A and B are shown apart, each in its own frame.
Chain A
Amino acid sequence: MSDPWSVKLEPYLDGELSPEDMRDLDSHLRTCPACAAEVLRHLQMKRAVRAAGRQFSPSPEFKRRVQQQIAPRRPAAAAWRWAVPVLAVLLIALSIYLGRQRSQAQHASSELADLHVTTLASTTPVDVVSSDRHTVKPWFQGKIPFTFNLPELQNTEFTLLGGRIAYFNQASGAHLIYQVRKHEISVFIFPERDLNALGTGKTLSFNSASWSEGGLSYFVIGDAASDDIQKLAALLQNAAKN
């Protein structure tokens, strides 16, 4: 083997010589058996190492695990893409449901307002005429499927005029009529399942208030001032707690 070629033999086999050096070494190998033998020896070892070195393969499960670990978070993005239309549909359904609930409540308010008006327009607005709650309350006994307390009205501006049976949504309830400074106010009491809370506010220019307590729904409506409606509502609420 002749220097300076010997140091170039490995780079020659590794493909790291310049094209010029490559050509020169090619022609040298044809004339130098020692260098040619050395190149062959290196080449055999290089091939053997390449074959022996490629022996370990990752298991498919392991590969999958790492792949999932480094993958862009597509599943999350996909979930969001799904979530948008689903949420939209849910929102629409919710608004329809709430709208229907609201319109049902408005409908119920209007019906009770009608009942209030027609009752007052009647020649016999009440079936039990009494300002005494101890007379009115027992009158309802056996006529409606529940009982209720009525407030003590002494030292207040309110007067109880009487009561009657009211029918709403095919259920029977109590209809009481109160008076405050010439204004008549209707108080409807129904089981909660038959009359949901209707809110507080104005219904066809009447003032109203409603709430539920002890399984009963109360609806107070009249052309009296909103303050009076609220005061009567408070009196009824206190009485229901006793």
Chain B
Amino acid sequence: MLVYSTGVVNDRLTAATFEELALPLFDQLYNFAHWLARDRAEAEDLVQETYVKALRGFASFQPGTNFRAWMYRILRNTFLTSRTGLKQTVTLGEDVPEPASEQTPESILLGHAEQELLQAAMEDLPLPSREIILLADVEEMSYQEMAETLGVPIGTVMSRLSRARRTLRDLVRRKLEHHERPLVGKTRTVS
């Protein structure tokens, strides 16, 4: 058995372990950061700061707990305290007007032409809805992981996620109504 007795060796071991654990998450953390900040430069700053903070605080990470949730929590907290993050939490509420029609948008979204529309709708989502939908459906986190990332109970995760999905659906429906003609025209041109 190897016994690491000196501080230097321990530091090196810690940094190596951190690298092994953290680097595979790089792309998805960046994607998440970009969705939060909605800007490339800010996303880069966010990810860089997250990695530096995480490495510095790696000693406080408790083995056995969820490392991915820990990284996302650091990224999210870094964003929330950033200028853009503060602005988004202050100016955007969760209220989205009720839909005007009973159309169901999901089947329409399957086509590639509509993916941009969905992305636009996701960008328009208020921050709490946007982040929980990304964690659940893009990062495919479990409720437990999301609870750890967001620092809320699982019950809150479930209700917030369900509400966010409803909000997104309504936003998509409104956008579909608004862009109905151009979208149809676009589809016809393509086909």
Contact = CB atoms under 8 A, between A and B. Distances in A.
A47 B106 CA distance: 10
B44 A52 contact: no
A65 B106 CA distance: 40
9 contacts: A16-B143, A44-B106, A48-B110, A52-B115, A53-B122, A62-B44, A62-B48, A70-B15, A70-B22
A56 B165 CA distance: 21
Interface stretch (B60-68, B80-88, B89-97, B131-139): B131-139
A53 B137 contact: yes
Contacts of A47: 110
A47 B109 CA distance: 9
Interface stretch (A71-79, A132-140, A151-159, A225-233): A71-79
Nearest to A77: B12
Nearest to B105: A45
Interface string A37-68: 00011101111111111111110001101110
A215 to B, nearest CB: 52
A70 B114 CA distance: 39
B106 A14 contact: no
A11 interface: yes
Contact of A50 (B18, B138, B165): B138
B168 A45 contact: yes
B187 interface: no
A58 B47 contact: yes
Given A42-B165, A44-B110, 15 more contacts: A10-B165, A11-B143, A16-B142, A40-B106, A44-B107, A45-B106, A46-B137, A49-B168, A50-B137, A50-B140, A56-B40, A57-B30, A62-B47, A70-B52, A71-B15
Interface string B11-25: 110011011001100
B34 A63 contact: no
Most buried by A among B19, B26, B106, B165: B106
B104 interface: yes
B35 interface: yes
Contacts, number: 107
Contacts of B15: 70-73
Contacts of B78: none
B77 interface: no
Interface residues of A, number: 34
Contacts of B34: 56
Interface in B143-162: 143, 158, 161-162
Number of chain B interface residues as a range: 35 or more
B43 interface: yes
B183 interface: no
Nearest to B14: A72
A166 B145 CA distance: 94
Nearest to B118: A52
A69 interface: yes
Contacts of A69: 48, 51-52
A72 B122 contact: no
Contacts of A50: 137-138, 140
B19 A72 contact: yes
Contacts of A65: 48
B175 interface: no
B183 to A, nearest CB: 15
A45 to B, nearest CB: 5
Interface string B35-54: 10000100110011001100
Interface string B107-139: 101100011001100100000000001101110
A209 B174 CA distance: 104
Given A44-B110, A48-B118, A63-B26, A55 B31 contact: yes
B143 A52 contact: no
Most buried by B among A11, A14, A65: A14
